[in-house]
């Protein structure tokens, strides 16, 4: 609308006064903006009447367009500000959450699975466009560079239950893992790698677990080829609508399972089986006996219905 009004005025002056396009366009602009410059040429009676009508109709429309444009800009700025305040408030209130560094293909999948398990998480990425899906789904996000210590601190790394570094570049993942390990000595850290050399570097940097996409995919293909009868179970366990889930969670002093035997936990009645216990000293009970007692700092490996596992992790 703002671009059309001067063109309409220019055409009017060209037809009525017979001026060239540039003089007509210039006259239309100074008329609309009421800057008070003199006329380009003397106006005849018909030109004067056109200016009157042009001002009455065009001036209001012009300023209406300016106001609307300004209002949209202000709304955008205020919307961004309120959104940022909302995210800051959500981040400050988060604890026992997972920090996902990188919102690419793998990062989206990690976040989707965490959301299905009803586990709190925050996604970090330096690309605002990549985080649009987070905004649409109502997930907590943070715009920034995950290799920056300040960004990790803002994401609440000191209150987090774990960190997953799934950036596209292995060098960035190494830097994130190194920074995270310095900031949080005991935080469980998982990272992705594209080759064996990077896996070794990530482990030296402080990653507890390193996932190689190619190695994991090749291992699964080999397993399915050598054991074709487990394919149906694999689909149940890894499909979008999976029924079973395998997870691990840490037992702390506040856990209701601390000091109890497996039989006393009542997890079997909820469709959950404890298939392994990893002690603080590294001892692994696989499978554990019903009489095995759960101790503080034990890591329980559980298998069961996906919804039951999600509730268990949410309370852990």
**Domain annotation for the chain: domains and CATH numbers:** 4-88 (1.10.287.70), 94-217 (3.40.50.720), 243-315 (3.30.70.1450)
Strongest mean pLDDT among 20-34, 77-91, 163-177: 163-177
Could you tell me the pTM of the whole model?
Answer: 0.56
Between 243 and 284, where is the model more confident?
A: 284
Q: Between β-strands 272-278 and 284-285, what pairing exists: parallel, antiparallel or unpaired? A: antiparallel
Strand partners, 142: 124
Q: What is the arithmetic mean of pLDDT over 291-303?
A: 89
What is the residue whose two structure tokens read 């993942």? Answer: 173
- Rounded CA-CA distance 267/257 in Å is 10
Query: Has residue 287 got a pLDDT over 50?
Result: yes
Question: What is the per-residue pLDDT across 34-66, written as a single tens digit (0 to 9) for each?
Answer: 776 777 788 888 888 888 888 778 777 777 877
Query: Has residue 101 got a pLDDT over 60?
Result: yes
Instruction: Measure CA of the first residue to CA of the last residue in the chain; give whole Å.
Output: 58
Q: What pLDDT, on a 0 to 100 scale, did the predictor assign at position 149?
A: 93
Could you tell me what percent of the chain has a pLDDT over 70? 87
- Rounded CA-CA distance 121/94 in Å is 8
Arithmetic mean of pLDDT over the chain: 83
Structure tokens at 111: 């976040």
85-94, 164-173, 284-293: least confidently modelled range: 85-94
> Would you place residue 223 in the very low, low, confident or very high pLDDT band (cuts 50, 70, 90)?
low
Element (H, E) at 192: strand 189-193
Evaluate whether 69 touches 2 at the Cβ level (below 8 Å).
yes
52-56, 82-86, 190-194, 219-223: least confidently modelled range: 219-223
- Work out the angle between the directed axes of helices 21-33 and 45-93 (0-180°, nearest 10): 60
Question: What is the per-residue pLDDT across 108-162, written as a single tens digit (0 to 9) for each?
Answer: 989 998 998 888 999 999 988 888 888 888 888 888 999 999 999 999 999 999 9
Question: What is the per-residue pLDDT across 167-217, written as a single tens digit (0 to 9) for each?
Answer: 989 999 999 999 999 999 999 999 999 888 888 999 999 999 998 876 666
- Rounded CA-CA distance 114/96 in Å is 13
Between 220 and 283, where is the model more confident?
A: 283
């Amino acid at each position: 609308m703002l671009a059309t009004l001067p063109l309409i005025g220019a055409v009017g002056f060209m037809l009525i006064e017979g001026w060239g396009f540039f003089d007509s366009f210039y006259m239309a602009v100074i008329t609309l903006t009421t800057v008070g410059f003199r006329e380009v040429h003397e106006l005849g009676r018909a030109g004067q009447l056109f200016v009157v009508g042009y001002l009455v109709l065009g001036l209001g429309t012009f300023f209406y367009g300016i106001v609307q444009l300004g209002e949209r800009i202000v709304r955008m700025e205020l919307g961004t500000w309120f959104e940022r305040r909302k995210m800051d408030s959500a981040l400050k209130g988060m604890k026992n959450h997972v920090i996902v560094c990188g919102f690419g293909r793998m990062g989206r999948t990690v976040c989707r699975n965490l959301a299905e398990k009803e586990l709190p998480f925050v996604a970090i990425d330096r690309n605002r466009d990549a985080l649009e899906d987070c905004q649409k789904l109502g997930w907590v996000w943070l715009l920034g560079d995950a290799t920056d210590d300040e960004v990790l601190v803002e994401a609440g790394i000191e209150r987090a239950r774990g960190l997953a570094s799934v950036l596209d570049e292995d060098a960035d993942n190494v830097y994130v893992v190194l920074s995270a390990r310095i900031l949080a000595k005991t935080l469980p850290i998982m990272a992705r790698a594209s080759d064996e050399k990077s896996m070794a570097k990530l482990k030296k940097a402080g990653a507890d677990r390193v996932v190689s996409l190619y190695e994991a995919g090749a291992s699964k293909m080999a397993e399915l080829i050598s054991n074709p009868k487990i394919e149906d179970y694999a689909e149940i366990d890894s499909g979008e609508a999976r029924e079973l889930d395998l997870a691990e969670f840490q037992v702390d002093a506040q856990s209701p399972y601390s000091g109890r035997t497996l039989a006393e936990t009542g997890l079997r009645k909820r469709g959950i089986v404890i298939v392994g216990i990893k002690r603080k000293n590294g001892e692994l009970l696989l499978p554990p006996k019903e009489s095995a007692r759960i101790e503080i700092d034990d890591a329980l490996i559980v298998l069961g219905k996906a919804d039951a596992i999600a509730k268990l992790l949410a309370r852990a």
